[in-house]
Structure 1
Amino acid sequence: MFHKIKDVKAMPDYKLQVHFVEGQTKEYSIKDLAETIPAFNQLMEDSSLFESVSVDVGGYGIIWNDDFDLSCDELWDNGKRLKAS
């Protein structure tokens, strides 16, 4: 099942706040990802690149450029659920 993304925001400490269409919000750490996929360290080395994150067409993922993207499933499955405020 796809969990479509409504919005994404770059946060301090290389975390992403991802808002899903269902109303759920999750926090996803790029630091954790960079430990398993070293290429993602580039996002931590270039803060303007990290902050340029946007929702991909259709809401099925997020994208930085042609080299870096993440699927909605990765963000949903491995993000930490934030409590509603």
Structure 2
Amino acid sequence: MPYPKIKSAQVIDDHTLIVEFANEEKRKYDMTKLFDKEVFFPLKNPGFFKNFQIDSSGCAIIWNEDIDVSEYEIWSHGTIEC
């Protein structure tokens, strides 16, 4: 099953995003569940966390060449927002 592409994202606190997908659905995604993996340690810094981009294909949110989160992860493990 293809997952909808990421349309937009916004930070709502130091470690949480609200992500809107191309199908207009939104998911709330708490990044702290990834903080046990060393690659994600920089995201503990709120200033760094807020500095992201959406991949041009809508397939991921990217912080740098080492840190990204896929649309699948956010869609599958985020909570539905109204």
Count of residues paired in the alignment: 81
What CA RMSD, in Å, does the superposition of the two structures yield over aligned residues?
A: 1.2
Secondary structure, in 3 states, of the residue corresponding to 1:49?
helix
* Counterpart position of 1:39: 39
Q: Secondary structure at the match of 1:73?
A: helix
Structure 1 runs of 4+ with >4 Å offset: none
- 1:51 equivalent in structure 2: 50
Tell me how far 1:41 sits from its aligned partner.
Answer: 2.4
Q: Return the TM-score normalized by structure 2.
A: 0.89
Structure 1 residue 34: deviation in Å? 1.3
d(CA) in 2 for partners of 1:21 and 1:59? 9
Cα distance between partner residues in 1 of 2:11 and 2:53 = 9
Where does structure 1 lack aligned partners over 5 or more consecutive residues? none
More helix by share: 1
Residue 15 of structure 1 corresponds to which residue in structure 2?
16
Alpha carbons 2:19, 2:28 under 8 Å: kept? yes
Task: Give the Cα–Cα distance (whole angstroms) in 1 for the partners of residues 63 and 11 of structure 2.
Answer: 11
Query: Aligned equivalents of 2:38 and 2:11: distance in 1?
Result: 19
Q: Could you list the runs of 5+ residues in structure 2 that have no partner in the other structure?
A: none
The percentage of counterpart residues that share the same residue type is 30
Contact 2:3 2:75 in 1 (8 A): no
Deviations 1:48-70 (A, max 9, x none): 21001221111011101111101
